[in-house]
Amino acid sequence: MERICLFPGTFDPITLGHVDVINRAIPLFDKLVIGVGPNSSKQPMFSVYQRTEWIKNIFTLNPKIEVRGYEGLTIDFCKKINAHFILRGIRYISDFEYEKAIADMNRMLAPDIETIFLTCSPTYSTISSTLVRDVIRNKGNARMFLPAEVIY
């Protein structure tokens, strides 16, 4: 069985913290699908197209990575792409509490799909897309938090 993992998120925008988690997850799986999906509690700043293009450009040389937009339940998208793992990045204990609740719900919906948590490297633990968007909205320089491929 091919070990396919979905790393879902809004990636609005993708940050160096996301890239760190992705790079450390690549050796763990045969294929890592980065799913750019919705979050009902967030209003995106960048289009799904723009976000997927940035991610494709970042990982263009890695054949193990696929980038796709999706809608609906993450667990349904996992089934569609035959992913048996969901990857989630954790920065703080508060992230774990939130992510564990989602993982538990997903496990009830699909017991054969396992959620894997990777902690963020300390260098990137304070970076969040929400804070980066705030810097961008207020015309600040967010370059130190973003991969070079993210042009805004």
Active site members: 18, 42, 91, 129
Place of tokens 């667990």: 75
Cα separation, 63 vs 7, in Å, equals 16
Edge-to-edge order in the sheet of strand 31-36: 65-69, 31-36, 4-9, 85-90, 114-119
Cα separation, 79 vs 45, in Å, equals 28
